[in-house]
Chain A
Amino acid sequence: MADPQEPIIRFDHASFGFPGLIALDDISLTIHEGEFVGVIGPNGSGKTTLCRAVLGLLAPIEGHLHIFDCACDELRCHHRAMIGYLPQKGVVDRNFPVTVLETVMMGRYGALGLFKRPGKHDHDIALEALDQVGMVTYKDSALGQLSGGQQQRVFIARALAQQPKVLILDEPTTGLDITTQHNVIELVQHLHAELKLTILLITHDINMIRSKVDRFVLLKTKLFAAGPPSEVLKPDILHQVYGKDLVITENDLVIVEDYHHHH
């Protein structure tokens, strides 16, 4: 799909976690600008750790991690605002008194920096982000009153308001009904094409995104495979990672037993 251009994220023999509890071990992986990457693997395989590392919330305990042109071995990198993030669902208090527009404006705060007040320019960016996810008519609604799918769109808009180069989505479809799941994935695909965003999408649902991604990254503490879907989604590789939890049906659907517990 997109032309592989500049390397935008580069893991170089990087390990994350604590000594004695390694979440990701010796990862070497290069992600190029404009790529759509699906991050897959069983529960506890380090998918979320990979995202947190790219976000600069975790420093490598060994090896290096370069993001953009900068060695982000130390935390608190100024590039953070250039990475939009949709965290796993289920953290929002439904009664939290915040409007849709106020939520999206928060996406501007990191980019603005301390001591600067959001102005009309930021307001326009927030409205445009809401427009991109089709939620601009809800700008004055209470966030808590929206449906799960609508809330996901608002949070994607908040990430877009950062005007990011990279968008990281951590299981964006979990807990949504099937139609809404497809709508969210279509929106992500649209943003990838339209805004030339580099996308890292974590998911359990391999089938839903296999025709959309440029590459899959298959994790289980170590990096098991990284490549186009046709290369990664091979029965022998998948069996190695998922073991008995994997079922491959006749029409090539990959079914992975999901032990994910929702709180």
Chain B
Amino acid sequence: MLDLLAYDFMQRSLLAAAMVGGLCSIIGVFVVLRGLAFVGAGTSHAAFAGVALGYLLGWPPLLLAIVFGLATVWITGWMEEQGRMKLDVSIGILYTATMALGILFIGLMKSYNAEVYGYLFGSVLSVTPDELHIIGALGILVLGLIVVFSKELYFIAFDQEMAEASGVPARQIYFLLLTLVALTVVVSLKTVGAILVFAMILIPASTAYQLTHSLRTLTLYSAMIGISTSVAGVLISALWDIPSGPAIVLLATSIFFISVFFSPKRVKRTQMSHVH
């Protein structure tokens, strides 16, 4: 295993996995608490359509992924605000429509392009130094914004109307959160892929949710679980020669089920139901 760590590509992969794991798990706290799980899924497919268009036109794929991702979250946020449609319906439509676009763009390509599939399924072991820089820069941007607006983000996750009533610009903060979700998805595309990034956002926060009653502790636990499962997943992937995306996600899922089983909340609920 130590031999593996000597390779440049391995060091890059571990660094990318740690950054993506940390970022996804922290934004995941707000996604889980605010009930935006489905938005994450929809955004990742939209971003993939952007990547496919990028390869089709020969434009920078990540740039188009950002454009597609942001357009999707802003449209869904706007539709929800207008009250015209429930969030899950509008996201469901955009989810499938953007996936259809992605498939269409791939179909229009004249030759088979393996790199596109890397964005769909994730290939952390092939992350290039340039991609690592992009991940790092976007990651710092997203984390910085979360830190700066953390108290507002927590408040709208808990109760958006209450936040607005007490003078927090809740609507703007909600759109900021949607934007950060889209950027996080784009950052993670290359590492875990469009299909699995959703799990990276949901699982660490949901696991931490089982273990604590405090918002701050929840965020800390979520980040720890996200980073450690990502790094361990990459190591397993390299050692056993299996794809990295599934290795990370399945490892995180196992830990999630263990946490559900041993959750202190579960114990308390069972005790309470005995009392009543």
Contact = CB atoms under 8 A, between A and B. Distances in A.
Contacts of B276: none
B154 A106 contact: yes
B172 to A, nearest CB: 9
Contacts of A113: 167
Contacts of A112: 151
B218 A109 contact: no
Interface string A130-156: 000000000001111100000000000
A110 interface: yes
Contacts of A102: 154, 214-216
B168 A109 contact: yes
Interface in A78-107: 78, 80-81, 83-85, 87, 91-92, 95-99, 102-103, 106-107
Interface stretch (B40-48, B156-164, B194-202): B156-164
Nearest to A54: B165
Given A78-B167, A99-B213, A106-B154, A87 B162 contact: yes
A96 B154 contact: no
Contacts of B33: 96-97
A57 interface: yes
A111 B167 CA distance: 7
Given A107-B166, A109-B163, A117 B213 contact: no
A81 B148 CA distance: 20
B168 A110 contact: yes
Contacts of A98: 158, 213-215
B149 interface: yes
B163 A110 contact: yes
Nearest to B33: A96
Contacts of A84: 166
Contact of B155 (A83, A85, A91, A109): A109
A144 B213 contact: yes
Contact of B169 (A91, A114, A118, A143): A114
Interface in A29-82: 55-57, 76, 78, 80-81
A85 B165 contact: yes
Contacts of B161: 57, 87
B213 A97 contact: yes
A168 to B, nearest CB: 9
A203 interface: no
27 contacts: A55-B165, A56-B165, A57-B165, A80-B167, A85-B162, A85-B165, A85-B166, A87-B159, A92-B159, A95-B209, A97-B214, A98-B214, A98-B215, A99-B215, A102-B154, A106-B158, A109-B151, A110-B166, A111-B166, A111-B167, A118-B151, A141-B213, A142-B213, A143-B213, A144-B213, A145-B213, A162-B166
Interface of B: 33, 148-149, 151-152, 154-155, 158-159, 161-169, 209, 212-218, 265, 268
Given A80-B166, A109-B166, 17 more contacts: A55-B165, A80-B165, A81-B167, A84-B166, A91-B159, A96-B33, A96-B158, A97-B33, A98-B213, A99-B215, A106-B163, A109-B151, A109-B163, A141-B213, A142-B214, A143-B213, A145-B268
